[in-house]
Chain A
Amino acid sequence: MTGMRDWDRVGKPDSGVVREFVAARLDDDRLPWSGQAAVMAHFGVSCAESEDLILEAGVLPARYTRNRQMLTTALQLRLFRSQVVVVGCGGLGGYLIEGLARLGVGRLVVVDPDAFVEHNLNRQILATMSNIGSNKAAAAARRVAEINPAVRVQAVAAAFDTGSHTLLSGATAVADALDDVDARLALAGACRDAGIPLVYGAIAGWYGYVATIFPGEDTLQHLYHRHTSRRGIESQLGNPSFTPAVVASLQVAEICKILIGQGTLLRQRVLTINLLDSEIETVPIE
């Protein structure tokens, strides 16, 4: 994010004028990238502003064609006007950011103090041979720019701590992609205080947990009630390539449901994932 609000440089163009301009550039009933680029050039707006204008005019950018059997253009606009904070840009965070950017969530705040190291390469989708040593949040921002340039990314190369609560301001949902139990509990507390839903995911070897926690619910405190260590059984089991992809994808689905207000969320229960024995079940936790 640049710090500049939408339409600061230019007044917001009239929706009817945009609709007329866009109508002449449709392919079937969707607007290809060339049309979106024309909107940017003609109205002097940024990529993000152009996407908002196009969706508000009721037109779907062609990149979202395969979303539309489940998401109307109005819902796509709602996603675009949503802001999600992803805390941690490692195993879970990389797949979360990938999924949210491709889905079309318009604003992402991505937080991670660490740099990629060689042993991240087995599972972290953002880790590449060329960015070992680079900050993970900055790498996430570069990746999103390559996937979906309409998405505004604020990359924060710092740990989420007591001074980071302002990062939650304006967020519709927060994703927990941390790797430390104490930090997870602190994030859950910050989300509760800020009144923002938290989508939790955690992994160890073949196993994982997913839950959605709304303010006032204490799922994480229950799930970690007995914890005596900041690390769990992942310190013995490690983490392979596929477990973070599974768990993070389930987190993206939960976030999508929160943002569009549809479906049944994993509230006051935990989804337990056991890929070794092919068992997935939800258990009430309240």
Chain B
Amino acid sequence: MDITVRLFLAFRTGRFNTKVLQYAEGTTVRQVVDDLRLPEADLGTAIVNGREAELGDVLSPGDTLLVFPLVGGG
């Protein structure tokens, strides 16, 4: 199935901004995050189709997944 993945800020370095990726049915948000080697500790939030997602959420064909790094400095 096609999943559109959008990465933000430092997550783009060495990866991409937006890309349509192929995953098997039943793939979870965590599997995409792991596949892209995004360290879980660096994760701020993941959003699927405009809604906050849990890492265990199962993706559906055509979903758009946004992944934001944790930024907390001041």
Contact = CB atoms under 8 A, between A and B. Distances in A.
B47 A285 contact: yes
A88 B74 CA distance: 8
Interface of B is mostly: mixed
Which of A181, A232, A273, A274 has the most CB atoms of chain B within a 10 A radius of its CB? A232
Interface residues of A, number: 48
B36 interface: no
Closest 8 CB pairs of A and B: A234-B73, A232-B70, A232-B72, A179-B74, A207-B9, A225-B45, A181-B72, A204-B71
Nearest to B72: A232
Interface string A80-124: 000000001011110000000000000000000000000000000
21 contacts: A93-B74, A176-B74, A179-B72, A181-B72, A202-B72, A204-B71, A205-B10, A206-B9, A208-B71, A209-B71, A222-B52, A227-B44, A227-B72, A232-B42, A232-B44, A233-B10, A233-B42, A237-B10, A244-B74, A274-B9, A285-B47
A259 to B, nearest CB: 22
B73 A204 contact: yes
Interface of A: 88, 90-93, 176-181, 184, 201-209, 222-234, 237, 239, 244, 270, 272-274, 276-277, 279, 283-286
Nearest to A281: B8
Contacts of B45: 222-226
B65 interface: no
Contact of A223 (B12, B68, B74): B68
Nearest to B66: A283
Contacts of A209: 71
B73 A91 contact: yes
Contacts of B41: 228-229
Interface of B: 8-10, 12-13, 17, 40-47, 50, 52, 55, 66, 68-74
Nearest to B8: A272
Nearest to A231: B72
A207 B10 contact: yes
A284 B50 contact: yes
B73 A203 contact: yes
B69 A204 contact: yes
B73 A202 contact: yes
